[in-house]
Amino acid sequence: QSALTQPPSASGSPGQSVTISCTGTSSDVGGYNYVSWYQHHPGKAPKLMIYEVTKRPSGVPDRFSGSKSGNTASLTVSGLQAEDEADYYCSSYAGSNVVFGGGTKLTVL
């Protein structure tokens, strides 16, 4: 049950695009199309942004998109806005449990 690997930080200026990676193994990310991404502002409830690799829940801006290649999933935020500054966590189904990434702090410069 090792955590998925995410870069600890990412940044971009307003209007730019940024991509956050999430690397796992064939037992989690690579083995299932059940990768999710959550946005977390400290002190608040995490918010689902992407599920099943590429799907967006109702209400999530289309500036957020997800993809996967092999054992690595990615979250891309286009047209960065100040309110996008938060911690982002990936997660993957792993058979009988769920594994999360260590989190990436996204800073909007």
Partner 1 sequence: EVQLVESGGGLAQPGGSLRLSCVVSGFTFRSYAMCWVRQAPGKGLEWVSGISGSGSGTNYADSVKGRFTISRDSFKNTLSLQMNSLRAEDTAVYYCAKSTAFTVMTTFDYWGQGTLVTVSS
Q: How far is the CB of 15 from partner 1 (least distance, A)?
A: 28
Q: Is the Cβ of residue 39 or residue 74 nearer to partner 1 in the bound state?
A: 39
Q: Is the Cβ of residue 13 or residue 97 nearer to partner 1 in the bound state?
A: 97
CA separation for the pair 24, 36 (Å, rounded) = 13
Q: How far is the CB of 13 from partner 1 (least distance, A)?
A: 26
Q: How far is the CB of 7 from partner 1 (least distance, A)?
A: 12
